[in-house]
Amino acid sequence: MKLLNRFICIWLALQPFFWGPSSPGIGIHFLNQIRLDRIFFVGIILLFTFNVIRRKIVLAPVSKIEIVMILFFVFAYASMVLGGANADLEYGKNKWLNALMNISLYPFAIYFIQKNIPFKKEDFTFILYTFCLLGCYLSLTACFEHFGLERFVWPDAIMDPSQGTHFGRARGPFLDAVAMGRILTVCFLCFVMMSTEVPRSLKTFFFFFIFIATVAVYYTETRGPWIGFGLALITILIAKTKMRRYAMTLAAVIAVIAVFGVTKKFSLFEGTLFSQRQNTVVEREISYSTTYKIFLSKPVVGIGFGKFKDAWFKYFSGYTPMDFDGSHNTWLTMLCELGLIGSLFYFSIIFVMLRKTYSLFRRLDETSSFERNVVLLSLAIAVMYVVTGTFSDLRWSLLQNNVTFLFWGTVEAIKAQTNGNIEAAIPSNAFPS
């Protein structure tokens, strides 16, 4: 079982280096051509199956939510095949099959696996430490990028303006500032949680990286991740756990910085990033109105998975010509491509898991402090997932999808383990009413 847990950790840690078609790999030429993350994913499946056969893992009954996951994948795959989207060779073969796997097959599989692995504090702590180590790397890389310290940035592609997008912002191995900001937020949350678990001698280290991760999110200079970070912080802030005081301290520091205008792009009284780059806001407004028209053309079954770009030019009606800049809203695009039927499958998964996560957090008492913190992190990550999906296309965000569903699978494992021990009464002080 421990080997399976380690494979999951390595699989997660590799994904930032294989994000999107222009990903840098791990910096070793002959290995860059190999999707190491997929090799470890196959290893995870084999190890999980082996443990099931040996009865070290007893599979829980298939739930309704897992049936819905299967229905979504089948519907979306049929939509993609019938629509012919996978004939798009812009980034090589199977572009849209990869996108579909990113948002369904991989995250659904890790949800199922994590749900069926008996929850053990030491094993999940290893996952949290993995994100902390990843957070150390990403946070420092963001700072080195920002100050142009090329010799400390790895892989070299990060400092190459011809590769990826958002050059000049902190974008890390994703070569994309949006993805960088979202995963940094996950790492920040893990830093905060582990700061309540580690010995006093290590707390200073974790406090330091809580601050550095926050600075690194700021250096992404991107509004969507900022909003996602803020909502994740608020989720921790309003819940009564040991993590709350760290969130309160950080929120106070951020408030002082905003009031006194210490930073150029985040201030209460001066021009900020939210008042700048208004052209991107206008472009999104036009894109959203175009998306709505596409949806109305085939509201029931959609235009076909992966066909959004083709339809966009047909229905675009902006005041001035505008190049297609991708989908900037996962949920609207899903409505367009899969219609009400396919979208409702996915939306119901998110709604049910949000409700389950919130409900479990309220039911767990203080004697299960570690489990409560894990469930609260799951809720914060889920809130960020929903919000950031409103501003960008999560079909390419492999790691964020996997992290969200891995934590949801962990919520199910905790629920299964503690269900017989949880008192029926819901503590009134879990969240303010």
**Three-point CA angle 133, 113, 228, nearest 5°:** 50
Question: Residue by residue, what is the 3-state secondary structure of 85-126?
Answer: HHHCCECECCHHHHHHHHHHHHHHHHHHHHHHCCCCHHHHHH
Q: Rounding to the nearest 10 degrees, give the CA dihedral for residues 68, 71, 77, 80.
A: -90
Q: What is the pLDDT along the chain (433 residues), one digit of tens a residue?
A: 899 999 999 999 999 998 776 677 776 666 666 788 999 999 999 999 999 999 999 999 999 999 999 999 999 999 999 999 888 777 767 889 999 999 999 999 999 999 999 999 999 999 999 999 999 999 999 999 999 999 999 999 999 998 888 899 999 999 999 999 999 999 999 999 999 999 999 999 999 999 999 999 999 988 888 899 999 999 999 998 989 988 899 988 888 877 655 566 655 455 555 455 555 666 677 778 888 889 999 999 999 999 988 888 788 765 454 556 667 789 999 999 999 999 999 999 999 999 999 999 999 987 889 999 999 999 999 999 999 999 888 988 899 999 999 999 999 999 998 874 544 344 445 555 4
Contact call for residues 299 and 334 (beta carbons, < 8 A):
no
CA distance 304 to 340: 12
| 3-class DSSP state of 316 | coil
Residues 20 and 175: beta-carbon distance below 8 Å = yes
Contact assessment for residue 31 and residue 1, using Cβ atoms and an 8 Å cutoff? no
Which pLDDT score, from 0 to 100, does residue 5 have?
Answer: 96
Block residue for tokens 């019938």: 82
Backbone φ, ψ for residue 92 (5° rounding):
95, -170
Domain residue ranges of the chain, discontinuous segments joined by +: 2-268+276-281+324-418
Q: Assess contact for 364 and 375: CB atoms under 8 A.
A: yes
H or E stretch at 250: helix 244-260
What pLDDT is recorded for position 121?
Answer: 95
Q: Under a CB-based contact definition with an 8 Å cutoff, are residues 164 and 175 in contact?
A: yes
Predicted pLDDT of residue 423: 42
